[in-house]
Amino acid sequence: MAVNKNFVVKNGLEVDTNTLFVDSANNRVAIGTTVPTAALDVRGKILSDSQVESFVGKFVGIVTAGAVGVTTMTTLDAVVTGFSTLGLANATSLNVTTGFSTVQSLTADDITVSIGATISKDLNVGSALTVTGATILSSDLNVGGATTVGGALTVTGNAYFNGNVDINGDLTYDEVNARNLNISGIATVGFATVGNMTVAGITTTSLLNVGFGATMVKVQGTPATRVGINSIGPAFTLDVDGDSNVTGTARQGGTSIVTLASAAAVGDATALAIALG
């Protein structure tokens, strides 16, 4: 049947049992069902030979796109509650809530990972980064805003933070460079260079450079715990290479060295008098 004019249906449309159904009362179109729950409700596979654009994308199942299951996503807001594999993701806001995402490269203003994510290339976050699940990053991390880590975050490349970093769990690192560093818990440091450092808890360090590049303190546990000032190889429990000034009382074995020196001087005078007859 050929229709040369507009085909208008006023009171809904139903083709076959549930091939096509139009709910005119609620302005909904359904394919594969007669009970649409959205403006377009499709119960089955959707095939498109062109680009699919969406203002907000929400995935509640397993997402596979492309010939090998890797796709590029550009979106304003994306919520991932299932499993997804991405080659490149650009998003204003990306939330991974109950699924697991594998991303080769990710750029976002805000990213929240509450379950787990594996990122094989760089992670660039323009604003805030929140990690509450296990996340493995095998390349560089660049964060322009505040970073909050409540779960495990593993970075095998370089990490750059332009804002505050709040970590609720353990922090283990081999080398750190900081302008101001405040540690209120237990920290283990392999090498640290800082301008100002405040430690309120227990800290174990193998080498610490503090300010101006001239003062070096080294704490080592073998053969015994030793501290060196301007000495990278202290031979004594405290080894100072240079002059030392004490405003209080300096003691040896609990006795003031001034007292010890006075007693030694008296003894030497007595011995001298006896020798001179």
Whether the CB-CB separation of 244 and 257 falls below 8 Å is answered with no
Q: Give the bridge partners for 56, in sequence order.
A: 77
% of the chain at pLDDT higher than 90: 6
> How far from chain centre, in Å, is Cα 128?
11
The pLDDT, as a whole number, for residue 30 is 92
Please report, for the chain, how many H helices and E strands are present, in that order. Answer: 1, 26
Q: What residue has token string 């030694």?
A: 264
Q: State the sign of the Cα–Cα–Cα–Cα dihedral 225, 230, 231, 234.
A: negative
The pLDDT, as a whole number, for residue 82 is 74
| Maximal CA-CA distance, the chain | 145
Closest CA to 72 of 57, 81, 60: 57
The pLDDT, as a whole number, for residue 41 is 92
Instruction: Give the pLDDT means over successive 10-residue stretches in the chain (277 positions).
Output: 71 85 90 91 86 74 62 77 76 76 77 75 80 78 81 79 75 73 74 72 66 55 71 77 84 79 64 56
The pLDDT, as a whole number, for residue 271 is 58
